[in-house]
Amino acid sequence: MSALALLLCLALENGDITTVRDYEAPPIDAVLSMPFSMDYGSDGKLFVLDGRESRVLVWGKDGKFLKAFGSYGQGPGQLVNAAKISVSENEIWVWDYRHFMSVFDLEGNYKTQYKKVGIEPRHMAPLADGRVMLGSRHLRQTGDTMMMLYMYNPADDSLETLFKMKNEAWMTGVKEDLSKGSLEMNLKAFPPDIDLQRDDKGNWYFGFGQDASIYRLDENGKTQEVLKFNLPEQIVTDSDRELMADVDFPMPNGKRFAFKDFPGIKFDYSHTKAYYTHFLIKGDKIAFVLTPIGSLTGLNNGFSRATFYIADMKTQKVIERGRYEFPLDSLVYYRNGRILGCIVGEEDNFQVKEFALKGM
């Protein structure tokens, strides 16, 4: 990391985002290679999914490294290009690109697995009764791109649609020719994404950043309350255009995806940005976070830079705003009222930190 990047990181951390806790570096045989998803258990333990190494790293609530579990392979409990993790009161769920959802107990012991073809979950929310809510994006060569929320019941393999929303950011269908390595699409810059979060009372909330609303759900995923927030619209600036031209990010297969490598991807800058790509609820406050990539990628992952608004849950009015930027390939995640950063250090290793946003 350059001296300039380090100074920028420190300057922003002293302003709009601050460190709450540093997590102990894992031993060399469990080094964090490529974090792709994370979650906190109810006891404060941290679980980070390393997609490249097909394993889960675990830290205690005091920040001490505890262990790693999981391995690459096709056998029971093994993972291939693992991309999503979610922790319930008594289980750990991991999804990989074979379309398997592998289930472990809280100690990392394998229990079972389910396969559901056709869904690549951007979010998973396993419930106490064994069902799981799945947030997903459906791309189409013709027709609309849809953002979905499902209730999946592994007991009978049933799938109920809870939400179905057209993604207006995808202005045309997707044309992909894998043999030629070509990809064509027209997109609004700074597109929205769906998010699925839990508050400190155990309530689940769902939202899609195409509008400034979130939905409080009951135990069956049904809407109990709609909260519409007074979020300002953001226009695309010249610096935003430069940013979108240079954006690239790692994929679960270890390769990188850069927009500049696909001239068929066209961005429309005449529209306002999405309201958010992520949200986070803590007490009576909610943070709405907007990253550049939104629903462009197959996964709702963290990113190295973002802007955010803090609002009051009762009045739905904005009370604070800010931004942050970390070195390229750093990832910032939001889960269950907490913020985790996997920040690229001076030797290109990941330093795991818990953060707090200004105003939260």
User: What are the phi and psi torsion angles at 263 (to 5°)?
Assistant: -60, -15
Q: Spell 85-103 as b/e; 16+ CB within 10 A means b.
A: bbbbeebbbbbbebebbbb
pLDDT greater than 80 at residue 180: no
Averaged pLDDT score across all residues of the chain? 88
Distance CA 146, CA 163 (A): 10
User: How far are the Cα atoms of 54, 74, 119 from residue 98, in angstroms, in the given order?
Assistant: 13, 9, 11
Give the single-character DSSP code of 193: -
Q: Which amino acid is at 196?
A: L
The enclosing domain of 51 has a CATH number of: 2.120.10.30
Token pair belonging to 321: 């705003």
Q: For residue 211, how many other CB atoms are within 10 A of its CB?
A: 16
Q: Cβ(110)–Cβ(77) under 8 Å?
A: yes
User: Given the DSSP bridges, would you call strands 204-208 and 213-217 parallel, antiparallel or unpaired?
Assistant: antiparallel
pLDDT greater than 90 at residue 192: yes
Q: What digits encode the pLDDT tens for the residues 26-47?
A: 998 889 988 989 999 999 999 9
DSSP H or E stretch at residue 97: none
Q: Give residue 116's pLDDT.
A: 87
- Least confident span in 59-68, 86-95, 112-121, 199-208: 112-121
pLDDT greater than 50 at residue 2: no
Distance CA 127, CA 294 (A): 26
Q: Give residue 181's pLDDT.
A: 65
Give the single-character DSSP code of 29: G
Give the single-character DSSP code of 303: B
Q: Give residue 262's pLDDT.
A: 80
Q: Give residue 259's pLDDT.
A: 80
Chain centroid to CA 200:
19
User: How far are the Cα atoms of 161, 165, 187, 245 from residue 293, in angstroms, in the given order?
Assistant: 26, 19, 11, 11
Could you tell me the residue range of the domain that residue 62 belongs to? Answer: 3-357
Distance CA 304, CA 325 (A): 6
Instruction: Give this prediction's pTM.
Output: 0.91
Token pair belonging to 190: 């700074």
DSSP H or E stretch at residue 309: strand 305-312
Q: What digits encode the pLDDT tens for the residues 283-335?
A: 999 999 999 887 776 666 778 889 999 999 999 999 999 999 888 888 899 99
Token pair belonging to 113: 């697995």
Q: What digits encode the pLDDT tens for the residues 44-91?
A: 999 999 988 999 999 999 999 999 999 999 999 999 989 999 999 999
How deeply is 26 buried, as exposed, middle or buried, from its count of CB atoms within 10 A (0-12, 13-18, 19+)?
Answer: buried
- Least confident span in 9-18, 187-196, 214-223, 314-323: 9-18
- Least confident span in 94-98, 300-304, 354-358: 300-304
Side by side, the strands of the sheet bearing 55-59 are 35-40, 46-50, 55-59, 65-69
Q: Cβ(25)–Cβ(65) under 8 Å?
A: yes
Token pair belonging to 288: 């709405």
Number of domains in the chain: 1
60 closest CA partner among 110, 102, 111, 21: 21
Q: Cβ(88)–Cβ(126) under 8 Å?
A: yes
Confidence at 194, pLDDT banded by 50, 70, 90 = very high
Q: What digits encode the pLDDT tens for the residues 252-269?
A: 566 777 888 888 888 899
Q: Cβ(264)–Cβ(201) under 8 Å?
A: no
Distance CA 332, CA 278 (A): 11
